[in-house]
Structure 1
Amino acid sequence: MSRLSYLETLLNGVGVEWKPIGTEIKTVTAPSKLKSQSYRLTGRLPIIDQGLEFIAGYTDEDVTPINNGEYIIFGDHSEHIKYVDFPFVQGADGIKILRAISANTKYIYYAFLTFYTKELSYKRHWSTAQQTLIPIPCPNDPEKSLAIQSEIVRVLDEFTSLTAELTAELTARRKQYNYYRDQLLSFDEGEVEWISLNNLCESISAGGDVPENSVKGQLEPDSKYPYPIYANATDEKGLYGYTDSYKINSDAVTISARGAKVGFHTIRDAKFTHIIRLIVLVADKNLVSTRYLNYVLDMTSIGGTEGGIPQITVPMIKKITVPIPFYGDVKRSLKEQKRIVSMLDKFDTLTTSITEGLPREIELRQKQYEYYRDLLFSFPKPEPVTN
């Protein structure tokens, strides 16, 4: 008998009571808290806070963690919901640490995810969230109720486990690519010189205003506006629209110069216009190829200004140095760059096919999980009370 068939047998004819989640859990007070300044990349104890990342950081400080057990974490401001089954330290403020009183904690977690409607505003949400109604099957038969809850959890765990495996595979492939790229761009002493971008580029320029004759949002060229306009963005590949002329008559590397994506860079084909907050690097082809320059920038720190909105300027870009093999021997240097680019292109093609396929598979599995989650929680709801 399949698990779903077994679950259908368990659910056959059972009653259900919809209860506020606040009546099914108790709040746990953390023995210690850490501020975000104390978060580290590695450490003995994981830190859980209300942020989007499951684990916010780690610590080796002498602090008392939450004991090992099963917990539901609710972000009082962020409304993120997490399930934790290991010792951890609370990070900062703004989370509710919850444990089931008599129900299956992970069942409560899945039910909370299913039935809680986010308010999407910056305020404290727990007073409302704890009123979320969740179904408790067989409320008068605790043993059968827990059996049903456990089976629902088991089925949903299978789907979330597969999604987690695919996500881990995607992360591993990206790390593998980064490792291989860094190995190819590592040179023995005497084989490389670190040269500033100012000395490697024919021009480095910041974007200006949007051209007067242009169409914002146009996704394809036409006879009237055939030349793309690129902006400081990563969505739609940074395409702002199209215009009837161009400023850059060469393939080039563009770098986002302001905001959360500062430092994001990519290659653009010749004949385009860049606008405000986007910097363009036109390589001196006698010294460096555009594709090599883009690859080498992958392993180069392109940090923005500290404080406020991060940004990077043309003078800052000009000072960045990158490794150029056999600098001073133009023919040998360009030949080695071509060899490295060829190998990285092949590996990038392979990695891209995997990293494009895996997210699609992850998305499909997530939809499959949501379908079965909704199906498994499709208990009859109480009739609304009318006066």
Structure 2
Amino acid sequence: MIKSNFMEKLLDGVEIEWKAIWEVTTWDKRFNAVSREKQSRVINYSYLLAAELFKLEQEEGDVFLLSTGERIGWTTEELAGDYIREGEVVTIPWGKSRPLKDVLKYYKGRFVTADNRIATSSNTDILLNKFLYYWLLNQSVIIDGFYRGSGIQHPNMASVLDMEIPIPPLKVQEEIVRILDAFTELTAELTARKKQYTYYRDKLLSFEEGEVEWKALGEVGELVRGNGLPKTDFTEIGVPAIHYGQIYTYYGTFTTETKSFVSYETAKKLKKVDTGDVVITNTSENLEDVGKAVVYLGKVQAVTGGHATIFKPSNQILVKYFAYFTQTEMFASQKRKYAKGTKVIDVSATDMSKIIIPIPTLTEQERIISILDKFDALTSSITEGLPREIELRQKQYEYYRNMLLSFPNQEV
């Protein structure tokens, strides 16, 4: 365990120099409001639209897909073609709707990138790229404040480049990176166990040809596209409301209560969500977030707004079975086919209704739900199972990261 005086020993007799980010990094573009002297050099990359990036995905590939979201993947040299680049990079998304800590990335090797802003150390004898990554991660809340816009936000890169970073000697940087890498490896082990659940879930929801009936989603229920509902309509109490953005960040597979509410007058203009309906996201800046779903099991009728579709199932399909299906690769591969847009990706309710889904007997659906509910409790519950373990490990890691990256200010 790291002692409380560890940093004092590590920094004993060491000089810490502080430099602006622009002095020690090279980026992929020239930015508005940043003088040329601060960006004397740029490194050019080829970018893929978010909707196109994961169309390249191949399980056995060895070229990394650098998305702007949380999803990761791999492709092959043959599929990537001229989009392949190689290097040691730190990336922040050009457009995001999530906290930066969830989408800031470090990678070393061959990759294909979506619309990220890409940084690399100008001189690794002065600044290690991995140290840069951990330091930016530790400053992610501050950098979040440099993003502007409603919905999809974009960063003020002039503010990012003017941030000052401590530059300890390389040996100190290497030791800090070594310790933080050890913490992230422990968290990665827990995350790998969660991936096992994904494998078994997809296996349970895979059927041989002729084993079950396959139908288009529009054949087993009604899809209703939502409208309106900006966050400014939220109230402290009132009619339960499910906002599409909260399906990414707040809800699990199902919910009995909503995070937000709207007034009764506002609710009259919005689409209604009944108990047993499924609310599905239509829109995101990341393809992986399109089609995320939550089953509403509340006792009171709720409402939802734009960028969401309500699925009202017929008696052929159980809602939780459908919600679990939306988490599978089979569903993901179909939504990729219908995705439209560049900066903002959308799958319309009309196209969503064309997605093909296996329809086993209701008894078999109930059996699958029973198994997946147990897995879901282990992998998604905030109070028990893997998420609790991962959360505790993450808090420990963040504590030490903050301690290891706290340096005396240059003015002291």
Q: Same fold (TM over 0.5)?
A: yes
Is the aligned partner of 1:167 residue 2:188? yes
Shift of the 112–374 alpha-carbon distance from structure 1 to 2, 3 Å rule, reads: closer
Q: Does the CA contact (< 8 Å) of 1:156 and 1:372 recur in 2?
A: no
Distance 2:106 2:314 in 1: 53
Distance 1:263 1:152 in 2: 42
1:153 to 174, 181, 191: 174
Shift of the 336–157 alpha-carbon distance from structure 1 to 2, 3 Å rule, reads: same
| Range that drifts further, 99-108 or 315-324 | 99-108
Aligned length: 345
Distance 2:318 2:199 in 1: 22
Aligned to 1:348: 376
Residue type of the partner of 1:98? S
Aligned to 2:242: 230
Is the aligned partner of 1:281 residue 2:321? no
2:341 to 282, 304, 307: 307
Shift of 1:267: 0.4
Q: Equivalences for 1:209-228 in 2 at 5 Å?
A: 216-218=233-235, 225=238, 227-228=239-240
Shift of 1:361: 2.4
Q: Does the CA contact (< 8 Å) of 1:77 and 1:124 recur in 2?
A: no
Shift of 1:368: 1.5
2:214 to 164, 174, 194: 194
Residue type of the partner of 1:295? Y
Q: Does the CA contact (< 8 Å) of 1:229 and 1:243 recur in 2?
A: no
Residue type of the partner of 1:241? F
Residue type of the partner of 2:121? L
Shift of 1:374: 3.7
1:360 to 386, 391, 406: 391
Shift of 1:274: 2.8
1:241 to 238, 255, 261: 261
Aligned to 1:180: 200
Shift of 1:154: 1.8
2:366 to 332, 338, 344: 338
Shift of 1:193: 0.8
Residue type of the partner of 2:166? I
Residue type of the partner of 1:163? T
1:134 to 166, 170, 177: 166
Shift of the 242–36 alpha-carbon distance from structure 1 to 2, 3 Å rule, reads: closer
Shift of 1:180: 1.0
Distance 1:182 1:36 in 2: 28
> Over aligned residue pairs, what C-alpha RMSD do you find?
4.9
Distance 1:50 1:337 in 2: 34
TM-score by length of 2: 0.62
Secondary structure of 2:207's match? Answer: coil
Is the aligned partner of 1:265 residue 2:293? yes
Distance 1:229 1:23 in 2: 44
Shift of 1:195: 1.7
Shift of the 19–265 alpha-carbon distance from structure 1 to 2, 3 Å rule, reads: closer
TM-score by length of 1: 0.66
Shift of 1:173: 3.1
Distance 1:265 1:58 in 2: 27
Q: Does the CA contact (< 8 Å) of 2:277 and 2:295 recur in 1?
A: yes
| Range that drifts further, 276-285 or 229-238 | 229-238
Secondary structure of 1:307's match? Answer: coil
| Range that drifts further, 301-310 or 347-356 | 301-310
Secondary structure of 1:288's match? Answer: coil
Shift of the 216–108 alpha-carbon distance from structure 1 to 2, 3 Å rule, reads: closer
Shift of the 9–41 alpha-carbon distance from structure 1 to 2, 3 Å rule, reads: same
Q: Equivalences for 1:115-130 in 2 at 5 Å?
A: 125=158, 129=162
Residue type of the partner of 1:272? Q
Residue type of the partner of 1:363? Q
Shift of the 365–2 alpha-carbon distance from structure 1 to 2, 3 Å rule, reads: closer
Residue type of the partner of 2:277? A
Aligned to 2:77: 60
Distance 1:319 1:54 in 2: 25
Distance 1:50 1:342 in 2: 34
Q: Does the CA contact (< 8 Å) of 1:45 and 1:87 recur in 2?
A: no
Distance 1:259 1:94 in 2: 19
**Which structure: larger Rg?**
1
Q: Does the CA contact (< 8 Å) of 2:63 and 2:111 recur in 1?
A: yes
Secondary structure of 2:244's match? Answer: coil
Shift of the 338–157 alpha-carbon distance from structure 1 to 2, 3 Å rule, reads: same
Aligned to 1:317: 352
Q: Does the CA contact (< 8 Å) of 1:25 and 1:98 recur in 2?
A: yes
Shift of 1:76: 12
Secondary structure of 1:158's match? Answer: helix
Shift of the 175–11 alpha-carbon distance from structure 1 to 2, 3 Å rule, reads: closer
Aligned to 1:18: 17
Aligned to 2:281: 256
Shift of the 315–2 alpha-carbon distance from structure 1 to 2, 3 Å rule, reads: closer
Residue type of the partner of 1:217? F
Shift of 1:321: 2.4
Residue type of the partner of 1:320? I
Residue type of the partner of 1:197? L
Secondary structure of 1:302's match? Answer: helix
Shift of 1:297: 3.1
Secondary structure of 1:267's match? Answer: strand
Residue type of the partner of 1:228? P
Secondary structure of 1:228's match? Answer: strand
* Deviations 1:135-192 (CA, angstroms, capped at 9, x unpaired): 55xxxxxxxxx6xx5255324522332124303531x233212211122122344320
